[in-house]
Structure 1
């Protein structure tokens, strides 16, 4: 898998080429040029000409790596020929060969070509140095031995570095692949989590609105059916309540499918909103409701949360409590808003209650950093206390 060079990789490559160039110029070109300054005119001019030529070729390859004429491999062949020429003119140039060895591993494509071309450079260096004196006198000279040892050491070091870099690149690609897989899995997990949260929100809204409305419609319809023959006025009121509840459910359904504002709650203060709900509850059930509703100012989200907690608590009173009196107290404290709902019904064991309504209320309040406390025991009624901290308010 080919990867686009990252900024850090390009910076490191640029620094390596810079230091390699400085080392080659200071330790290779300049000392070799200085060595021929006192030589004969012809030898000096030829040597300086060859060094200038290879320096120019190096600059072209380094600055224009994709030029169609002087490709890196061509440059390395020219470098080998120049080494042979310099070695011939000076009687040996092992030092220049050693300093130029990194070029064969930087510019050649692959370790095999590096070994071959650096071997060609070593051969021309040895050949040029021994050409004038004859092989029998100069073949085992220190210059040639040093060149051969440098070539062998360069091959060993180059192969080791190539293997190390290859393993590092493979590890990098593996980590990149694992990172991509992890990011994809994380995105899928977030998507699943979002879908689950949305399903829970919709389920909670359905339970707190539509399901409660349908339950009210069923109770009112049964009561109207019982009163149709004996109390026409009461039956008419219950039918009106059924129609009103059905319209409210329709409005809530539009909210859930996204064709109406998300709150689905009429504008007004918290106290006004709760009072409308309690009036409906009294009208539908005939129970006695006492209220202490402070004029509390809060944002829409908090107002909806308090309303939903009230609706759920009243629905539980209607379905389970068999109560005669319900008390609702809304109070603003320095630490936040508290809503207390009590009844004198039959009560229940809190630890054994795992209904969706209580769970939904807790989750709704938790989204606002609030809390729900439920206190009850058999025969002693129930107390529901919802608290939303002040830092949740606007």
Structure 2
């Protein structure tokens, strides 16, 4: 899109340079040549040059004016070439300098060739009618005629090839831009799917897993421990309501939550209390009152929910430790358990990768340390931003 204006600017500059050269080497010499004469040759030449100059000035300055018709200017140029050839006994130089005019102000090569031939004929006739028939003027006029036509045809071909190449490049550019836009759209859709998958895994999937575990426990203790079953049923109800709220958030039917209205420490305390209530695990928590913005709070909450869900489903632990503190690198969250442990690089599933991706987007980092029989340590760090 930017190549075309640059090309037009270059053509405009070349035309200005040629206009200056034409005035200097085309109009100037006839005026100077008759400067010392006192007969009608002087005033006749000056009159022709003046009319031609005014016509050219109108064409250049007022291109949309009815008076600025290129055909009218070219007609005056042909007459001026013949007239000056008569008065100055030849006009080959003026003719040769004026050759580009016939190609600049005609729409087709055929028209340019017609005007060039007409100008050559006018120059030759003027030379023949003049007092001194100069063979040199005739020869140079014919050479100028042949050279002007050949050079004009070659330049026209070059310009057409350039225009065709510009059209091809413009088409390729449009296709590339379309393909790039489609790729960006696909990338955006993929990123959105990944984000939704992460949100669903960290919220709805974990909630449904808790509901299943609680329902199984309530069913097993329904006859032997009805009080415990009633508590578990209340937890199921509460978890189901929370999942419903999270589902509405994901589809945009409710405002986002995720700890936006409360501090990170109270939100984590609420999650840990629910864990103790639902599972009976022993929880040791050291939660500093760290001030952070909403994206950081949400990332830390999701990381905690995912880690505790893994403890419930896989670790077989009896004790969980959670430490939230302000460290040299920012906010630090450490979650440990005394469960069976695992080999981190062999872990399969969305959880750990989802946590790491969420933290990485905010400039944070995640380290998971574990081995079979030695429990698990999840350590997350996030840079601190001002509270929103």
| Shared fold, TM over 0.5 | yes
Aligned length: 388
Q: What residue is the counterpart of 1:242 in the other structure?
A: 236
Does the CA contact (< 8 Å) of 1:348 and 1:376 recur in 2? yes
Cα distance in 2 between the residues matched to 1:127 and 1:175 = 48
**Mean alpha-carbon deviation: is it higher for 346-355 or for 312-321?**
346-355
Does the CA contact (< 8 Å) of 1:302 and 1:393 recur in 2? no
TM superposition score normalised by structure 2: 0.93
Q: What residue is the counterpart of 1:88 in the other structure?
A: 86
Cα distance in 1 between the residues matched to 2:387 and 2:14 = 59
Runs of 4+ in 1 over 6 A off after TM superposition: 391-394
- Evaluate the alpha carbon distance shift between residue 122 and residue 266 of structure 1 in structure 2; reply closer, same or farther with a 3 A threshold: closer
**Does the alignment pair 1:357 with 2:357?**
no
**Does the alignment pair 1:26 with 2:20?**
no
Does the CA contact (< 8 Å) of 2:45 and 2:84 recur in 1? yes
- Evaluate the alpha carbon distance shift between residue 268 and residue 392 of structure 1 in structure 2; reply closer, same or farther with a 3 A threshold: closer
| TM-superposed deviation, 1:71 | 1.9
Q: What residue is the counterpart of 2:315 in the other structure?
A: 321
Q: What residue is the counterpart of 1:48 in the other structure?
A: 46
- Evaluate the alpha carbon distance shift between residue 380 and residue 170 of structure 1 in structure 2; reply closer, same or farther with a 3 A threshold: same
Does the CA contact (< 8 Å) of 1:221 and 1:242 recur in 2? yes
- Evaluate the alpha carbon distance shift between residue 119 and residue 186 of structure 1 in structure 2; reply closer, same or farther with a 3 A threshold: same
Alignment counterpart, residue 190 of structure 2, candidates 191, 196, 215: 196
DSSP 3-state at the match of 1:378 = coil
| TM-superposed deviation, 1:4 | 10
Q: What residue is the counterpart of 2:330 in the other structure?
A: 336
Deviations 1:160-199 (A, max 9, x none): 3222222233223322222222222222111111111111
Does the CA contact (< 8 Å) of 1:213 and 1:249 recur in 2? yes
**Does the alignment pair 1:277 with 2:277?**
no
| TM-superposed deviation, 1:15 | 2.9
Cα distance in 1 between the residues matched to 2:276 and 2:343 = 26
Does the CA contact (< 8 Å) of 1:251 and 1:264 recur in 2? no
TM superposition score normalised by structure 1: 0.92
**Does the alignment pair 1:131 with 2:129?**
yes
**Does the alignment pair 1:35 with 2:29?**
no
**Mean alpha-carbon deviation: is it higher for 339-348 or for 270-279?**
339-348
DSSP 3-state at the match of 1:229 = coil
Does the CA contact (< 8 Å) of 1:370 and 1:388 recur in 2? yes
Does the CA contact (< 8 Å) of 1:104 and 1:114 recur in 2? yes
Cα distance in 2 between the residues matched to 1:6 and 1:353 = 57
Cα distance in 2 between the residues matched to 1:197 and 1:14 = 48
Cα distance in 1 between the residues matched to 2:147 and 2:386 = 72
**Does the alignment pair 1:259 with 2:257?**
no
Q: What residue is the counterpart of 1:162 in the other structure?
A: 156
Cα distance in 1 between the residues matched to 2:141 and 2:236 = 104
Cα distance in 2 between the residues matched to 1:9 and 1:378 = 70
Q: What is the RMSD computed on CA atoms of the aligned residues? A: 2.2
- Evaluate the alpha carbon distance shift between residue 266 and residue 53 of structure 1 in structure 2; reply closer, same or farther with a 3 A threshold: closer
Unpaired segments ≥5 residues, structure 2: none
